[in-house]
Amino acid sequence: MRFISLIALSCFIASANATITATFSSGGKSVTKQIRMPALRVEAGESPAAGLAPGAFTVDLKGTLTIPKRYRVYFSYDIEGTATMKVNGEDLPFTDGKSERLRLNPGEVPIEVHYKSPDNGAGSFRLHWEERKEFPREPVSSTVFIKSDSEINAAHLFANHNCAQCHDTGDLGAHAMPELKYAGPNLTGIGDRTTEAWLTRWIAQPDKLKPSTSMPAMVDHTKPEGAQAAADLGAYLASLNTGATSPAPDQSLAQTGGAHFHKLGCAACHTKPSADEPDFDHKRIPLNNVATKFKGGSLISFLKNPQQHHEAIKMPNFRLNDEEAKSLAAYLTKESTGNHTPDPSEFPPGDAARGKELSASLNCAACHEGLEKATTSAPKLADFKDWNTKGCLGPDEKRGKAPRLNLTAEEKAALTPKVVPELKFDTLEAYATRQVESLRCASCHTHDGKADLLTAVHGETKSLIAHIEGHDERLDQSRPPLTHMGAMLNTPFFESMLLGTANPRPRPWLEMRMPAFPLHAKDLAAGLARQHGLGKAEPGKEKPAADQVKLGEQLVAMTGYACVTCHAQNDKPALAAFEVQGINFGEVHKRLRPDYYHQWMFNPARMVPNTKMPRYTNPDDGTGLRTDLLEGDAQKQFEAIRAYLQSLQK
């Protein structure tokens, strides 16, 4: 059965956080959640939804389309299982997998789908539509649904705040959330890298230095004994050193480092190091404490390999070379000097021996390697009857000696025993949803019609490249949308992008670069595909027909659609592309899923409204602009081009 890629429909109203309400039922239990689009895929032995055990299941999908003008559409399914559908509350009959032609008036159109999986619990579903005058058959996009109110993901909070590191959850089984195994930074040798003053301030009030942190406050710095405890712990951690030293950043490199800061788009996740007030609205991570935190050249080492001491760190790896790391460190250090967050308390001198004992009694080793083993343990999760009356999640007056978590009252209230099934039965789709938020992917990439943050804030750092002659004359080329990635990229290539091993880079002309997220690469690539109702995909290995290759070469040449004007062909450069370049044709076959390729070729601007790629089909009837080749059949022309592109694969 043919699968066609998801696209962003530029002709529709794009709404942020576009969602569909999905109620999954299996084994007498039900969970209701929000999903991006009317699509799902469950393999044999997998949970159909976070919180449900594997097995046969049903799903009820409800959403509201936004229609800009009167359309006459056909709906159809790609499906393993069975489904029925309602539009505007009326049953929609299907014949041979396709509905009757339906008139949709402008405005809001509610739809409902009831899906039933095969008995073995493995199934898939993707909803398509087509409008003869406007678009061919395509998946119904996530961007066309009216958004729902965002919901608190309690399982994500539980994992993100490392609750399972302190509270024994028992054996949750093979389907448990991967994040439950993520730990905090390894503090072995922390004294070589970090100053005692910063460590003390961090322990006293972590959310003051980093408002979005999941690190809890282990002491009450407002009381004398709490301030002393922070100082003692800081002294103990500072004593964990080998005596290794490295040169501090060369301040003369600061201007070059500032230019790198702007070009790499660091403002998407960070405020400038000179900004002494956090960006609470966008939850960007402050950098004003860098100079007081890092010792010697430890910042350079961190920038080159953020995962070295913390595998689950959210800071990605930009694969910086020595010059980039040294100059960036110089810029961050110079600009943050004198702009650090003031101490929240007066701290007395710390005692490392007392700090060591305190670390053991506070069970710090539960989250951090390299520390003294704990002398106490937190209660097991199964021992809690009511999570919100005392302890970590209780009100301050009933918290006792439990740490103060950086959670709102609403977030605390959401953490109840009801979260346990979600911890036990996770899905790749749910993992991808959590990590897109946690890793701030939408800070650099547009997603489901919502603009990326970097475009709005990048101007804050533009002055850092003012000294570079001609830089303002460069033509901006935006980053690819995240909306379609799961339906766009073949699995091995997607994983290589997230691992940082893709070589060559698909867009080497961009000053920004896709950073690496090594820990998340495999599951994130698979999970984003699942959100589109797709499984793994690899580039085809069959040899394309010689006549197809020859025709495709003719079509991309100047005698055809002149694609070679902007696209290089392996080592053969593009004929006239300067800054408006296209992906090297030698890389296309290993990158793109075939269905996505065809959808893109039909009308690129429907997927990426600001693309430089022109349209090669007739808007009136969808035929190819070269009517003299293959009888003007665009589908056949594009397939011939795909055969040629495959022949270029090294």
Measure the CA–CA gap between 42 and 529, rounded to whole angstroms. Answer: 12
- Distance spanning both ends of the chain, measured CA to CA: 29
Q: Which two tokens stand for residue 599?
A: 């959808």
Tell me if 294 is assigned to some domain. Answer: yes
One DSSP character per residue, 360-403 reads HHTTGGGT-TTSPPPS--PPPGGG-S-TTSSGGGS-GGG-TTS-
Give the other-Cβ count within 10 Å of 399's Cβ. Answer: 16
Rg (CA), the chain: 27
Contact criterion met (CB below 8 Å) for 5 and 139: yes
Q: Is the pLDDT of residue 462 over 90?
A: yes
| Burial class, 461, CB count within 10 angstroms (exposed 0-12 / middle 13-18 / buried 19+) | buried
Pair 404, 265 in one domain: no
Tell me if 14 is assigned to some domain. Answer: no
Q: What pLDDT is attached to residue 553? A: 97
Pair 233, 348 in one domain: yes
- Average model confidence (pLDDT) across the chain: 92
Q: What pLDDT is attached to residue 276? A: 83
Q: Which two tokens stand for residue 164?
A: 């399972």
Give the residue among 345, 375, 346 at the shortest CA–CA distance from 359. Answer: 375
Q: Is 488 helix (H, G, I), strand (E, B) or coil?
A: helix
Residues 6 or more apart from 278 whose CB is under 8 A from it? 211, 271, 284, 286
Pair 122, 214 in one domain: no
Q: What pLDDT is attached to residue 90? A: 96
Query: In percent, how much of the chain has pLDDT > 90?
Result: 81
Q: What average pLDDT does the segment 603-612 reach?
A: 89
Contact criterion met (CB below 8 Å) for 40 and 81: no
Measure the CA–CA gap between 589 and 353, rounded to whole angstroms. Answer: 61
Please name the residue that has the structure tokens 């936004």.
66
Measure the CA–CA gap between 547 and 452, rounded to whole angstroms. Answer: 44
* Domain of 622, in residue numbers: 546-647
Q: Is the pLDDT of residue 15 over 50?
A: no
Q: What are phi and psi of 123, to 5 degrees?
A: -160, 170
Q: Where does the pLDDT of residue 364 fall: very low under 50, low under 70, confident under 90, or very high at 90 and above?
A: very high
Pair 100, 202 in one domain: no
Alpha-helical (H) ranges within 479-537 are 485-488, 491-499, 521-531
Residues 6 or more apart from 582 whose CB is under 8 A from it? 563, 566, 567, 574, 612, 613
One DSSP character per residue, 570-622 reads TTB--SS-SSS----HHHHHHHB-HHHHHHHHH-GGGT-TT--PPP-B-TTT-
Q: What pLDDT is attached to residue 16? A: 39
Pair 168, 236 in one domain: no
Measure the CA–CA gap between 175 and 428, rounded to whole angstroms. Answer: 10
Residue-wise burial string across 474-507, b where 16 or more C-beta atoms lie within 10 A, e elsewhere: eeebbbbbbbbbbbbbbbebbbbbbbbebeeebb
Give the residue among 112, 56, 55 at the shortest CA–CA distance from 88. Answer: 112
Tell me if 409 is assigned to some domain. Answer: yes
What CATH code is carried by the domain that includes residue 353?
1.10.760
Give the residue among 233, 240, 234 at the shortest CA–CA distance from 197. Answer: 234
List the single range of 148-157, 330-339, 526-535 with lowest mean pLDDT: 148-157
Measure the CA–CA gap between 84 and 113, rounded to whole angstroms. Answer: 6
Pair 282, 414 in one domain: no
448 or 385, higher pLDDT? 448
Q: What pLDDT is attached to residue 2? A: 29
Q: What are phi and psi of 119, to 5 degrees?
A: -65, -25
Tell me if 83 is assigned to some domain. Answer: yes
Tell me if 64 is assigned to some domain. Answer: yes
Structural domain count of the chain? 4
Pair 105, 138 in one domain: yes
Q: What average pLDDT does the segment 512-539 reach?
A: 96
Q: What is the DSSP letter of 217?
A: B
Pair 346, 386 in one domain: no
Pair 133, 221 in one domain: no
What CATH code is carried by the domain that includes residue 127?
3.90.182.10
Q: What pLDDT is attached to residue 135? A: 84
Measure the CA–CA gap between 201 and 226, rounded to whole angstroms. Answer: 12
Tell me if 58 is assigned to some domain. Answer: yes
Q: What pLDDT is attached to residue 487? A: 97
Pair 218, 72 in one domain: no
Domain end (from 399, 424, 449): 424
Q: What average pLDDT does the segment 569-582 reach?
A: 84
Condensed to tens digits (0 to 9), the pLDDT of residues 627-637 reads: 999 999 999 99
Give the residue among 421, 424, 433, 419 at the shortest CA–CA distance from 523. Answer: 433
Q: Is the pLDDT of residue 399 over 90?
A: no
Domain end (from 369, 389, 424): 424
Q: Is 121 helix (H, G, I), strand (E, B) or coil?
A: coil
Measure the CA–CA gap between 646 and 335, rounded to whole angstroms. Answer: 49
Pair 214, 353 in one domain: yes
Q: Which two tokens stand for residue 147?
A: 């958004």
Pair 58, 132 in one domain: yes
List the single range of 138-142, 517-521, 530-534, 587-591 with lowest mean pLDDT: 138-142
**What is the reported pTM?**
0.93
Tell me if 30 is assigned to some domain. Answer: yes
Tell me if 28 is assigned to some domain. Answer: yes
